[in-house]
Amino acid sequence: MVEQKKRFALFLATCDSSFVKKTYGGYFNVFVSTFGEDGEQWDLFRVIDGEFPDDKDLEKYDGFVISGSLHDAFGDADWIVKLCSLCQKLDVMKKKVLGICFGHQILSRIKGGKIGRASRGADMGLRSITIAKDAVKPGGYFGNQIPKSLAIIKCHQDEVLELPESATLLAYSDQCNVEMCSIGNHFLSIQGHPEYNKEILFEIIDRVVNMKLMEQDVVDKAKATMEDAEPDRKQWQTLCKNFLKGRSEQV
């Protein structure tokens, strides 16, 4: 009997920049190289352009990833409302969903949490986030060695202001009260970007400045955070893969 390939889908909520297209062939490749493994099938749905899977096809997937976005997760654009509706269906089906940045906020939104503009202002650059030890058990997504903190690249102006009642807080920081949370064993969401590296962040920063969306001093501080430090990409990869592939349960 031939073993079925594991199948995953990326809900892309942002447009590919010319830099990402030229360097990586698009964000889809960035996500698959970070979270994918040999022998898996990954499908792309550009939800920002109104591309969604049919409801009848949802059962075929082992897991889903929702990307970041320049759009507000509390917005009511048609595609955002449709994405929320789809995530509610995935919640009922108990399908694995990894939400990143915008995706993190969407998952809290559909479960009754409060999202909005970041209470301490936009956060951009490398940040150390504190793991909520009491909520994280050995052998869960983190493996047997639970770190006290992890470095991750941040790039957001919105945040989860209040967790849904059903959510468990897994990480926080001085800048953001909800850096990571889980809902049951099927939703995991992260405010930062496990898939980003320094060059992706710097290119976004430069674009944001050109669009006059951020002041130069904020940008300079963001770049300075990565002068002598790197994100813990390997640990984030392991954590996200453990979750998506169902290798361990957190609660």
Q: Residue 1, SS3?
A: coil
Question: Residue 190 has which token pair?
Answer: 């992260």
Structure tokens at 26: 């698009």
- Among candidate residues 104, 179, 195, 240, the one labeled active-site is 195
Each residue's pLDDT tens digit, 126-184: 999 999 988 877 778 887 788 999 999 999 889 999 999 999 999 999 999 999 999 99
Reply yes or no on whether the pLDDT at 1 is more than 60: no
Q: What is the pLDDT of residues 35-47, one digit of tens each?
A: 999 999 999 999 9
In CATH, which superfamily holds the domain spanning 7-245?
A: Class I glutamine amidotransferase (GATase) domain (3.40.50.880)
pLDDT of residue 212: 75
CA-to-CA separations, 177 to 131, 161, 190, 207, in angstroms, rounded = 12, 8, 12, 27
- Work out the pLDDT band at 250, boundaries 50, 70, 90: low
**Residue-averaged pLDDT of the chain:** 92
The CB-based long-range contact list for 73-81 (8 Å cut-off, 24+ gap) reads 73/102, 73/105, 73/106, 73/109, 73/115, 73/158, 74/105, 74/109, 74/115, 74/116, 74/158, 78/50, 79/47, 79/48, 79/49, 79/50, 80/106
76-135 confidence digits (pLDDT tens): 999 999 999 999 999 999 999 999 999 999 999 999 999 999 888 888 899 999 999 888
Strand partners, 239: none
Q: What proportion of the chain, given as a percentage, has pLDDT over 70?
A: 97
Catalytic residue among 87, 155, 156, 193: 193
Break the chain into its structural domains and give their ranges. 7-245
Pairing of strands 180-183, 167-172: antiparallel
Q: What whole-number distance in Å separates Cα of residue 47 and Cα of residue 9? A: 11
The CA distance from 236 to 141, in Å, is: 10
Q: Is the dihedral of CA 212, 25, 12, 243 positive or negative?
A: negative
pLDDT digits (tens, 9 = 90+) for 9-31: 999 999 999 999 999 999 999 99
Q: Known catalytic residue: 101? A: yes
b/e code 19-50 from CB counts within 10 Å (16+ = b)? ebeeebebbbbbbbebbbeeebebebbbbbee
Token reading at 42 = 């990954």
Q: What is the pLDDT of residue 211?
A: 79
- The active-site residue out of 87, 101, 176, 240 is 101
Say if residue 251's pLDDT is above 50.
no
Structure-model confidence comparison of residues 125 and 213, the more confident one: 125
CB 77 within 8 A of CB 106: no
